[in-house]
Structure 1
Amino acid sequence: MRKLQEVTVYAHRGASKYALENTWNAFYKACEFNVGIELDVQITKDGVVVVFHDDNLKRLGGKKYKIENILYEELKELKIGKRWSRRFSNAQIPLAYEVFQWAKEKQVPLNIEMKNSFSAHPEGPKILASMLEGLENFHVSSFNPHLLKEMKQLMPAREMALIIKKSIPLEAIRKMKWIDSIHLHRRLYSLSFLEALQEMKKNIRIYNIIGSEAAMKKIAPELKGIITDYPERITKKLRLPVKR
């Protein structure tokens, strides 16, 4: 039976309850909590990989451009933030390569979510795979199984995790031989589902956890990780050490 100490907590988009999501301040704060980091990567038209969640810039950048259609030159000076909050404003979009190198130096585990802009770029997966060479404690996740299949071909020894938001037949998962892990939305959590996935030898993580769910009262031994907006709350429940 897996010990609770082996469950890795990942701060969703960095410590996004304390700083603007997917920014350096959010990553620094997550590092203080001594947890892993879940972050999102996009690729620009000219093949530069950046850390950003949305496919377009409207919500945080005030522009209607899709990242896959613009050059990095148009992004690098852009200020992003939530317009109604000074605390969550006036940041810039990080370069993924710089975040990866920082995480390597700090020994921070990464959950790297590939967004669909990588499907629009002919060399997208190859560019990301080359950037990840030499990085050790990470896995790649995506809602897009085809992107994960391509990444698995490029990096066969690395873990690929399919993110699931709604029910999917177990047989469909079984056919995806390139999928090593499943990231389940908390709504899909059930012991029977976890046991079925474990029989397929899939790593299992749960996301969108806030800490009050029934799943947190007794951690299933099949569970390998928790992805949350509340890393400090979850580490306390798991009795994991938190840096101050």
Structure 2
Amino acid sequence: MTKIFAHRGASGHFPENTMLAFEKAIEAGADGIELDVQLTKDGRIVVIHDEKLNRTTTAAGFVKDTAYDVIRSATASANRKEEYGDVKVPLLSDVLSWAEKADFLINIELKNSVFRYEGMEEKVLEQIKRFGIEERIILSSFNHESLALCSRLAPEIERAVLTLDVLYKPEQYVNAIPASGYHPKLHTPAVTDEIIENLKAGHIAFRPFTVNHADDMKWMIEAGAEGIFTDFPEKAVSIAHNEDTLC
């Protein structure tokens, strides 16, 4: 059965990459959550998508140039504070501490394709091992050199290639890193039924992003995608369960 990953949590309805969005995603029945990590000026691992704080928080400037205490004092619901209250930008350790007692998957995207964030891989891996949840983690990145480094540092933790591009024989490319997952953007030439079949034949986990429309969810489930990333996990869970019942 296709696994449902909540993209930045249940971000279609709640502030993205916050504990609130993650908790609501699991309450909705998602099989896992997806989150993004970057490093602050003082080397803390924070969960945030953009390189700048401006869009999703009440702070401003680059994450890499801002100390964690400043980020922690900001509100992560940006201009929706009246609706959601003073939610915070979590640390990766906050999410993993919460997840440690549960049983869902966590896709950690290393946001290091714009800024390199030296030492990010080691810091993230240390946190994962600290909580002892290696078998529930998928590391993904658009920086494929970073994935190769993760392979050398922690070969036991799953890795997945993120891409906006069309890769020639992606199953061979993924194996060369090596990784075992392929996460392309939906509705690009990188996603066709033929490519999906080739990946499945090569035992590569195909999980596209961001799958928000019901017809696309049904397509990916029927095509046998190992997982999908969606902003609306409650919708995807309902469709996945109905498709499973019909089969």
Q: Give the TM-score normalised by the residue count of structure 2.
A: 0.86
Other structure's SS at 1:105 match: coil
* Worse-superposed segment, 192-201 or 171-180: 171-180
Q: Give the TM-score normalised by the residue count of structure 1.
A: 0.87
Q: Does the CA contact (< 8 Å) of 1:55 and 1:116 recur in 2?
A: no
Q: How does 1:68-147 map to 2 (within 5 A)?
A: 68-83=64-79, 86-88=82-84, 90-116=86-112, 120-133=116-129, 134-135=132-133, 136-147=135-146
- Count how many residue pairs are aligned between Structure 1 and Structure 2: 235
* Worse-superposed segment, 100-109 or 116-125: 116-125
Q: Does 1:199 align with 2:195?
A: no
Change (3 A) 1:84 1:34: closer
Once the two structures are TM-superposed, the CA of residue 86 in structure 1 deviates from its matched residue by 2.8
Once the two structures are TM-superposed, the CA of residue 178 in structure 1 deviates from its matched residue by 1.5
Amino acid at match of 1:204: F
Change (3 A) 1:203 1:104: same
Once the two structures are TM-superposed, the CA of residue 32 in structure 1 deviates from its matched residue by 0.6
Q: Does 1:237 align with 2:239?
A: yes
Q: Does the CA contact (< 8 Å) of 2:38 and 2:117 recur in 1?
A: no
State the partner residue of 1:152.
151
State the partner residue of 1:40.
36
Once the two structures are TM-superposed, the CA of residue 167 in structure 1 deviates from its matched residue by 1.7
Once the two structures are TM-superposed, the CA of residue 87 in structure 1 deviates from its matched residue by 2.1
State the partner residue of 2:176.
176
- Among 10, 13, 16, the alignment partner of 2:5 is 10
Deviation sequence 1:173-224 (CA, Å, 0-9, x none): 2563312110121113211011222333311112111233356147346421
Amino acid at match of 2:136: N
* Worse-superposed segment, 85-94 or 68-77: 85-94
State the partner residue of 1:51.
47
Amino acid at match of 2:62: K
Amino acid at match of 1:192: E
Amino acid at match of 1:8: K
Aligned partners of 1:174, 1:24: CA distance in 2, in Å? 31
Other structure's SS at 2:75 match: coil
Aligned partners of 2:124, 2:198: CA distance in 1, in Å? 32
Aligned partners of 2:85, 2:216: CA distance in 1, in Å? 35
Q: Does the CA contact (< 8 Å) of 2:18 and 2:76 recur in 1?
A: no
Q: Does the CA contact (< 8 Å) of 2:42 and 2:67 recur in 1?
A: yes
Q: Does the CA contact (< 8 Å) of 1:119 and 1:147 recur in 2?
A: no
Q: Does the CA contact (< 8 Å) of 1:12 and 1:227 recur in 2?
A: yes
Once the two structures are TM-superposed, the CA of residue 80 in structure 1 deviates from its matched residue by 2.5
Amino acid at match of 1:122: E
Change (3 A) 1:120 1:70: farther
Deviation sequence 1:51-94 (CA, Å, 0-9, x none): 11111111123444211222222222122323266325632110
Q: Does the CA contact (< 8 Å) of 1:184 and 1:206 recur in 2?
A: yes
Other structure's SS at 1:61 match: coil
Q: Which has the larger share of helix?
A: 2
